[in-house]
Amino acid sequence: GGLIVSVVLTSRAGAVLAVTLNRPAVLNALNAEMLAALADAWHEATDPSVRAVVLTGAGRGFCAGQDLADLPDRPPVRAGLRHAYNPVVLALAALEKPVIAAVNGIAFGGGTELTLACDIAYAAESAQFSFKEVTVGLMPGYGIIRGPDVIGRHHTRYLALSGRTVDAHEARSMGLVCQVHSDDDLVPAAVALAEEIAANPPLAVQVGKAFINRGTEVGYPESVEAIALLFARPEHRAAVDAFRARRFR
């Protein structure tokens, strides 16, 4: 066979680990293989010589969320949620090292949730954020727990209940991202920030992150149960079937 390229790429430059989502043909939509590879990347980040992480996407998207084409027809939902996407996002948030998101395009659903799980986010001019879950009869599990802490309840409701998309500048006004850069300058700017953080005494950075993040997991197990309930509804199945019909016709 031909060369197999990993669905998640990692590279080191000094104390900074760059993690790149690498399924550009589907805007880096998350499937089981990518989630497993991300778990490996977070493990790589625990290396003591890594002091900061930059997360970005290959191609023109950051992450289009869960790959609906990858969902099983009748998923064992609670098990699937607990053992696939959720632990990967929780492990990202729980990393002792600071993680900077460099959001380089579409960040829908799980893409916005990944952004929220990072410690600091920069966006490209081309970035777009949304919680699309409601449009297929679901809700963002991690997003509605972490969203109120990061962007406040009003903005979380606005996104989670409407499914609307916001651009990089709206995301900055909400506090979802700290800075907006041109598409070309995005990753260098994020790496420069990571290098600045990496140059600081690591224990001070680690303790600072841990204190700022304290208490942000409250309510998470309940949100998994709520999503399991929504998964079982006929509206969700109909919406996914309609999506697949459009995509594969």
Cβ atoms of residues 210 and 96 within 8 Å: yes
d(CA 109, CA 66): 7
Active-site position among 44, 133, 170, 217: 133
Cβ atoms of residues 109 and 140 within 8 Å: yes
Biggest CA pair distance of the chain: 55
Residues 100-127: b if buried by 16+ CB within 10 A, e if exposed: bbbbbbbbbbbbbbbbbbbbbbbbbbbb
Active-site position among 33, 113, 170, 196: 113
d(CA 164, CA 215): 28
Closest by Cα among 66, 147, 160 to 111: 66
Query: What residues are paired with 19 via a beta bridge?
Result: 10, 55
133 is catalytic: yes
Which parts of 33-152 are beta strand (E)?
A: 52-57, 61-63, 99-103, 106-108, 120-124, 128-130
d(CA 47, CA 151): 31
Provide CB contacts within 8 A for 201, sequence distance 6+: none
Catalytic positions, written as ranges: 113, 133
